[in-house]
Amino acid sequence: MKLLGLSLGDVSILIGIIATVLGSLGWMGKKAIDYLKHKLADPLQDALSKLSDSVDRLEVTSQSEHKLLHEAINEMDKHLDEHDEHFVRHDEQIKTLFDRRNFRK
C-alpha cells in the first residue's frame, strides 16, 4: 500500500522521526524553562520577598515614628496654648495698670 508515493513502512518511519524530533524539542524546551526558572525566577522571587519584608518593617517603623511625632506635636500645641493664655493675661494686666494710672494707649 502506498500513501503520497511512500510505502507504509516509509510513512511509519517518517512519523517515528517526526515524533522523536518533536519529543526531543519538547524535552529541551522543558529543560530550558526549568533552567530559566531556576536561574532567573527563583532569585527574583527571593529578592521580591526580601523587598516585601523590608517594606513591612519600614511601615511598622514609620507608624511608630508617626505616633511619636504626633505626640510631640500635641505636647507643643499644649505649651503654645499655655503661652497664649499667659500673653492674654499679661495683656489684660498691662491694660489694667494703664487704666489705673489714667494712661490711655
**pLDDT tens across 60-87, in order?**
999 999 999 999 999 999 999 999 999 9
Round to whole Å and give the CA distance between 96 and 105: 12
What pLDDT, in 10s, does the model give residues 31-50? 988 888 888 888 888 999 99
Structural domains of the chain, count: 1
In terms of pTM, does the model score above 0.75? no
The average confidence (pLDDT) of the chain is 88
Q: What are phi and psi of 6, to 5 degrees?
A: -115, 150
Residue 105 lies in a domain: no
Q: Is residue 18 domain-resident? A: yes
Partners of residue 6 on adjacent β-strands: 3
Residue 56 has pLDDT above 90, yes or no: yes
Range of the domain at 6: 2-100
